[in-house]
Structure 1
Amino acid sequence: MKWGTGVLAATLLAMGSGCAHQSAGLSAETQTRLTQTQGAYLTGATAGLGRASVLNKTDFIWGLDFSPRQRRVAYTRLGSRSYFLSIWSLESPPRLLADPTINPYEFDVEGVAFSPDGSLVATASRDGAVRVFDAATGEARGVRITEEPLSVVAFHPEGRWLVVGSVKGLITVLAVDGLVHASEERGHEGPVSALAFAPDGTLYSGGWDKHVRAWDARMEAVSSHEARTRFERASGSAVVSGSVNGKAMGSFALDARVPAIVVTSEVATAAGIDVASLKETVDVPGALGTTQARLARGQFLRFKSLVVRDVDVAVCDACVPQGLRGVLGAPFSQRVSVAFDEVHKEVRLTLTSGAPEGSAPVETLVLAARSDFTFPAYVSDVTVDARGQRLGVGLSEQKPERDRAVYERERQGFEEPQGPFNAGAVVDAATGKVLHKWPVHRGVVSTAAISPDGRSLISGGWDKQVHLFTEGESSARGTHSFDWAVRRVRFSPEGRWVGVAAWTPQVASSSGESDPSAVLLDVRYAEGATVVAPGAAAAQ
């Protein structure tokens, strides 16, 4: 089916409720049970894709996710100058709840995920920030700037932790409360393309290194007197990322020649320091000579899990190299030993006195490698079924990277080739064996999502196509065409709908509207589809 502007209004009118109509193939009894049973989902052979609700036909849509409990969907969209997080309630018809700004348009925002209880939405951006929003109001609840550009995000099933993946392969665990760094693993070489938790807490990560890895997520006691962090060379010094008082993040130069720990006034204010009320001063050399800087005593510095307490901080804008937010001078080097790993561009920071007196290792969530599945193609996406037994994997023989050559081929109307691993695949989560594979896309397969019951798969690609498959069938049960590249597809938690995030051509119009880019599709089921309750799902 081709989405034309002429049928758009009629489609929405025919939908009426947007999402409240009876799904094809479901009896009234089945639909009632599905609606009234928390955590239930449909199982059965899919029969096709039905009517749609169009949520956006103006912007490029990048990432999309459904709320596990509340009837909500969220997606990240690129506006004229900023990225936004659009949160919708799936009412009759769908209602926009909030549309907060995320970050400037220069930094792509691909990662979006709801918390298990549906109360929060997290985003992961190429600016290195993970941001958390209230899912009902869009109010910002927290932000943490990490060391590397971010691509994906996922919440742990317990809701206390979230995990982000970077474009350089780093997987980082953060506590939802305060977004405090918990642990990390260098999980992939190159971009982490997907993160998905199974109900038992197993994490599956996919990457452009052609691997899907399974991780045990478990609580362990972790020492807080050392940390490994990335560094760069700038202004003649090594530069590391950290925070002051757990509030003000920034880049700090390591320079033992400076007789103080120095921060800019902007950092001091963000850290909760009332600069105007400071009475003590300290002499700090700078580019323009010695400056009497105001001194704030009894602050603390955080570098991932390492906390350096009871430090005195001088506030001086002229004493900090341009582009940085502070200098870690002699008082820091006297308390923290620094060891550089030039190969991995990391530095190990260790308290010279060991752990502070009376302190104990902190219980936190860590990742331990369990399995490693290798594929003959780039892994663009990974999802998990409701039982944690099957994965939906997007595979692409071409690197899923949009460069100038890709745009030129699209402009010229070049048709990308099919290939045995330009495909969506159903994969056994325990062994990595490909159970079903459908290589029907031309060129990059950018996304694939498995149904809650693990029997069906929907895939999308840069060939502008979305295909729905059911196990045992060689051809698609349903297909929809879009006007530009498809970025993400996701099944709703109960399996009744599929959400599609796509790009839309930019056209000159008074309204700014183009073709559909954020769309909900109705999943049709063959006769005999039934409802699986949460307890029954765990027992299967």
Structure 2
Amino acid sequence: MKAGVGRLALVAGLALAQGCAHAPSVPPETLARLAETPRGYLAGPVMGLGGDTSVLNNQDFIWALDFAPEGGRVAYSRLGLKAYNLSVWSLTPEPRLMTDPDINAQQWDVEGVAFSPDGARVAAVSRDGSVRVFDAASGQVQGVFTTEEPLVSVAFHPSGRWLALGSAQGLVSVVSVPGLTFATELRAHTGPVSALAFALDGTLYTGGWDKHLRAFRASEQRARADHARTRFARQGGFAVVQGSLQGKAPVALALDARAPAVLLTTAAAGAAGINVAALTDSLSVPGALGTTVARVAHGQSLRFKSLAVDGVDVAICDACVPQGLQGVLGAPFTDRVEVSFDEAAGEALLSLKGGAPSDASAVATLVLEPRSDFSYEGHVNDVTVDARGARLGVAFSEEKAERSRTVYERERKNIEEPRGPWNAGAMVDAATGQVLRKWERHHGVVSTAAISPDGRALASGGWDKRVYLFAEGEDAPRGERAFGWSVRRVRFSPDGQWLGVAAWTPQKATGNQESDPSAVLTGVRYVAPIVERREPPVAAQ
């Protein structure tokens, strides 16, 4: 399928609900001031949606969408014919597709994308447990980090040096950028971490299906790197943990103190960058069928989240590794690392015997400290932050936003979901968690909500195929759009000029395969906009 269809005229399914479609979005003199103001954005009462509209895609399911804070770019994840793709567009002077790389195979949904603060990188998280970071201009993969749980949300810290990753099982992990090394983690929710959003002061907001919205203070600190907690499983009589060799691809490793060496398969060694054919030293490894002569790679580094075990000699031996695994952590490893098990949590605690050496006793990490915990009557599906960090845009639903057979049957029969007090988009005070205004316009699940940069308008989207634009102090929407299927994401551009929408579309396998718009940018109109300036992004404190 094509990645998009370029700049199109307005189509019937995107007709304005109210207001004049031809009214200018922003006066030229205001646009000039905006262009001259670094980190500037439009502020003031919204009039509606209109002006220019660009349809970037009308063929694919679009899952997630994000604007670059700098650089005039937008990116979205789409379900293509053979894989999920990351489509990155330049917005100036006209929307133009820059790159469209594959992310991963079709069976793993890609529900979160995020730009780095400078717009140079895009991160995409997948239910295969991995985050992939791409060069926004070329589409080249700059790094991959694999966690132990399916990932559904992602956000860059405003310094650009850290990525927060939200899992489908409530875990928030932090990795460094650009190295993509593990920094820290915490169990923030009891269900999926449906949303992650950093304010410019570094505060991290997390939303979950446990009906909680939580805030964490993020600070860069030095932490000891002599222990790690990691998931383990019982397989073939062994405890199996996941680690990585040389910071490369993850490997599943069996703990077996009886093995005389740390062992690795040929394929895993190759993935870690070891040229097995060039190795000259060897080691005899006894096994059930006799002794195997294995080539040895000296001085390798094993990593388990924050714990690094350096200077490890690894023997390459396919016959010595249990089927389905990539390696064995033998006596040379267990002599250096104490291993204990938390059976209730399903985690293994790995600790260096004698603690970390003096030259590696502390490493830089981003520490998340709980600040606030707000509970609501609805499930939290999406969270966004305004430019001042004062207000949040939050999407709520009375039922979990799960695509079940029951949901599909209702859609097939055109049964309208009910409205309800917690099927709503809301403005929320970031400091207190108080719901300042809640709009109950949608039928059924409200999947997404975006607050405007000035905090005075809210856009919401839902499974009722609708996008609404609301203004503070008003009940009726200022703008409305209809789509062909479920709306997945709405986002304001950082300067407030555009509203981006990601939606599914009824796919067509014949003809030119064009269907209803699914990735759309539409102008935001203001009554009398002024230009304000957001503070520079913070360094991690």
Which bracket does the TM-score occupy, shorter chain normalised?
A: over 0.9
* 2:209 paired residue number: 208
User: Any residues of structure 2 matched to 1:74-153 within 5 Å, and which?
Assistant: 74-153=75-154
Tell me the distance in 2 between the aligned counterparts of 1:463 and 1:238.
47
Aligned to 2:452: 451
Q: In structure 1, how many angstroms separate the alpha carbons of the residues matched to 2:488 and 2:523? A: 19
Q: TM-score, normalised by structure 1?
A: 0.94
Query: Aligned AA for 1:32?
Result: A
For residues 290 and 517 of structure 2, what CA distance do their matches in structure 1 show?
60
The question of whether the paired residues in 2 share the 8 Å contact of 1:111 and 1:123 is answered with: yes
Deviations 1:109-131 (A, max 9, x none): 01100000111111111111111
Equivalent residue letter for 1:210: K
Name 1:359's counterpart in structure 2: 360
Q: Is the 8 A contact 1:22 1:31 kept in 2?
A: no
User: 2:16 maps to what in 1?
Assistant: none
Q: Does 1:370 align with 2:371?
A: yes
Distance 1:535 1:448 in 2: 23
- Aligned counterparts of 1:373 and 1:523: Cα–Cα separation in 2: 31
In 2, Cα distance between the equivalents of 1:233 and 1:78? 35
Aligned to 1:30: 30
Query: How many percent of aligned residue pairs carry the same amino acid?
Result: 61
- 1:470 and 2:479 are equivalent in the alignment: no
Find the counterpart in structure 1 of residue 503 from structure 2.
Answer: 502
Matched AA of 2:28 = A
Post-superposition shift, 1:52? Answer: 1.7
Amino acid at match of 1:464: K
Q: Provide Cα deviations, 1:231-256, integer angstroms capped at 9, x if missing partner.
A: 12222212111111112322111122
**Which deviates further from its counterpart, 424-433 or 139-148?**
139-148
Bigger drift between 354-363 and 341-350 goes to 354-363
What residue number does 1:400 align with? 401
CA RMSD of aligned residues (A): 1.9
Distance 1:281 1:115 in 2: 45
User: C-alpha distance in 2, partners of 1:347/1:399?
Assistant: 32
> Could you tell me how far apart the structure 1 residues matched to 2:479 and 2:513 are?
30
| AA in 2 matched with 1:493 | P
> What stretches of structure 2 of length at least 5 have no aligned partner?
1-6, 12-20
Partners of 2:294 and 2:208 in 1: CA distance? 47
Report 1:420-499 matches (<5 A): 420-499=421-500
CA distance in 2, matches of 1:111, 1:91: 24
- Supply the distance in 2 between the matched residues of 1:322 and 1:80 (Cα, whole angstroms): 33
Distance in structure 2 (CA, Å) of the matches to 1:278 and 1:203: 47
Partners of 1:138 and 1:407 in 2: CA distance: 34
Q: What code does the residue aligned with 2:92 have?
A: E
Give the number of equivalent residue pairs.
Answer: 523
1:8-23 alignment to 2 at 5 Å?
9-11=8-10
**2:200–2:537: 8 Å Cα contact kept in structure 1?**
no
Q: How does 1:163-312 map to 2 (within 5 A)?
A: 163-286=164-287, 288-312=289-313
User: Deviation per CA, 1:491-537, whole angstroms, max 9, x where unpaired?
Assistant: 000111110000010223222221110000111111x2211123599
The answer on whether the counterparts of 1:64 and 1:490 sit within 8 Å (CA) in structure 2 is yes
Q: Is the 8 A contact 1:288 1:318 kept in 2?
A: no
Secondary structure at the aligned position of 2:359 is classed as: coil
The Cα offsets for residues 373-425 of structure 1, whole Å up to 9 and x where unpaired, read as 10111100000000000000000001001122211221121111110000000
Counterpart of 2:235 in structure 1: which amino acid? A
1:299 is displaced (CA, Å) by: 1.0
- Which residue number corresponds to residue 513 of structure 2? 512
Instruction: Report the CA distance between 1:285 and its aligned residue.
Output: 4.4
In structure 2, the residue matched to 1:18 is: none
Alignment match, 2:39: 39
- AA partner of residue 370 (structure 1): R
Kept after mapping to 1: 8 A contact 2:286/2:292: yes
Deviations 1:42-84 (A, max 9, x none): 1111111114210001100000000101111000000011000
Contact 1:88–1:96 (8 Å) recurs in 2: yes
For 1:170, the aligned partner's letter is: L
Distance 2:122 2:202 in 1: 19
Provide runs of 4+ in structure 1 moved above 4 Å. Answer: 285-289, 535-538
Q: After alignment, is 468-477 or 349-358 more displaced?
A: 349-358
Separation of aligned partners in 1, 2:479 and 2:323: 56
SS of equivalent to 1:35: helix
User: What is the alpha-carbon distance in structure 2 between the residues aligned to residue 536 and residue 217 of structure 1?
Assistant: 17
Asked if the contact 2:226/2:361 (under 8 Å) is kept, the reply is no
Write the distance in 2 (CA, Å) between the matches of 1:10 and 1:205.
Answer: 38
CA change 1:153–1:537 in 2 (3 A) is closer
Please give the alpha-carbon distance, in whole angstroms, between the structure 2 residues aligned to 1:32 and 1:157: 26
Q: Aligned with 2:320: secondary structure? A: coil
166 and 23 in structure 1: CA distance in 2 versus 1, 3 angstrom threshold:
farther
Tell me what 1:3 maps to: none
Q: What is the CA–CA distance in structure 2 between the aligned matches of 1:537 and 1:263, rounded to whole Å? A: 44
What SS does structure 2 have at the residue aligned with 1:399?
A: coil
Distance 2:537 2:365 in 1: 29
The Cα shift of 1:257 comes to 2.4
Secondary structure of the equivalent of 1:38? coil
Task: Provide the secondary structure at the position in 2 that maps to 1:201.
Answer: coil
Q: Which residue of 1 aligns with 2:389?
A: 388
**1:410 matches 2:400:** no
Q: 2-side partners of 1:524 and 1:443: how far apart?
A: 28
SS in 2 for 1:269: helix
Q: In the TM superposition, what whole-angstrom CA distance separates every residue of 1:169-227 from its partner, at most 9, and x where no partner exists?
A: 11111110210111111111111001100010000011111111100000222111101
**1 CA distance for matches of 2:23 and 2:221?**
45
Q: Which residue of 1 aligns with 2:17?
A: none
User: What's 2:14 paired with?
Assistant: none
Contact 1:217-1:368 at 8 Å conserved across structures: yes
Deviation at 1:280, TM superposition (A): 2.3
Asked if the contact 1:387–1:537 (Cα under 8 Å) also holds between the matched residues in 2, the reply is no
CA contact (8 A) 1:23 1:522 kept: no
For 1:468 and 1:446, how far apart are their aligned partners in 2? 14
Relative to structure 1, the CA distance from residue 404 to residue 120 in structure 2 (aligned partners, 3 Å threshold; closer, same or farther) is same
